[in-house]
Amino acid sequence: MDLRMSQQITLQISDEVARRATTIAAETERSIEEVLTSWLDALVNEVPIEALPDSEVVSLTQLQLTKQQEDALSHLLTLNCEGTLDTAGRHQLDELMRLYEHGLLRKAQALRVAVHRGLIAPLQS
């Protein structure tokens, strides 16, 4: 959690949000507060794809993990399959999987916006 400029507040959240945050907190060995804070930070700091200029939208359609991230993810997945992944590795794997899944989502959103704006041709199935 970034404490440079922070403010403590009290929020009432739905049971579903609390359940999901509790599950993720337990799986990642973080506090519920840390999980909720990271969700809020990500939501506030991420510009919607629709608000980005054409060049950034097109750039996001090519989004992928770096070679280093791909290699680390592959290695951690192998260790996980073998049952030899330690707690630090599990944290790293969770973080890389979040990054990967988030990147896929942003890429899909960028593809939709790019097609809508006529920046790229629709994908054929």
pTM above 0.85, yes or no: no
- Side-chain-side CA neighbours of residue 7 (13 Å): 3
Tell me how far apart the alpha carbons of residues 105 and 111 are, in angstroms, rounded to a whole number.
10
Tell me the helix, strand and coil percentages in the chain, rounded to 5: 70, 0, 30
Q: What mean pLDDT, rounded, does the chain reach?
A: 90
Let me know: does 98 contact 76? Beta carbons within 8 Å: no
pLDDT of residue 39: 86
Which residue, chain included where needed, has tokens 């907190």?
25
Q: Tens digit of pLDDT for each residue in 10-55? A: 989 999 999 999 998 888 888 999 989 988 887 877 889 999 999 9
